[in-house]
Amino acid sequence: MRNNIQNLTFTALMAAVLCVIGPIVIPIGMVPVSFANMAIYLTIILLGKKRSIISVALYLLIGFVGLPVFAGFSGGAGKLLGPTGGYLIGYLVLSLIGCSLLEKGKKQGKQKIWYQIFALGVGNLGLYFVGTAWLMYQSKLNLMSALSVGVIPFLFFDVIKILLAISIGNSIKRRMTFLF
């Protein structure tokens, strides 16, 4: 029973972290640099696949009903269905791919930081794919234009966020072994 309560609490806590960090952005164009994906990287490292996906889905649901938890303190169905909504839905893909790779690596004894970077990077490619496809559809952009607006400006920032999340996540895991 205690373990279930801890799991639920930590899953909800990470959804809350997403809601607090998600609205924080650096506006650089049509798609701002959001810190939500850094919180999702942390969620992936800390929670595992099932709880990570639930946490991200809860965050998206909270934003869908209109609470201002998305980039720039926005929310609502219109945000999810708008040009950048694919990146929000892509958070689920990021979580699914990143967690799946980390779990596979754990079974194979790949606990190294480079493997975590790889797993989160590949998950991020899934996020970029979904987000860019939706951006192209909604904004009537060709692939190169969509990549130049929705991916290329963010590569550097995402690498930094991945490295920070791995550092913070691994530090939390070392200190809170009773949860993991």
- The pLDDT of residue 45 is 95
- The pLDDT of residue 82 is 95
- The pLDDT of residue 2 is 59
Q: Does 3.40.50.720 match the CATH number of domain 2-179?
A: no
- The pLDDT of residue 1 is 52
Q: What is the mean pLDDT of each run of 10 residues along the chain (180 residues)?
A: 82 96 87 90 95 97 97 94 95 98 86 92 98 97 95 95 96 78
CA gap 136, 133 in Å, rounded: 5
* Percent helix, percent strand, percent coil in the chain, to nearest 5: 75, 5, 20
- The pLDDT of residue 178 is 62
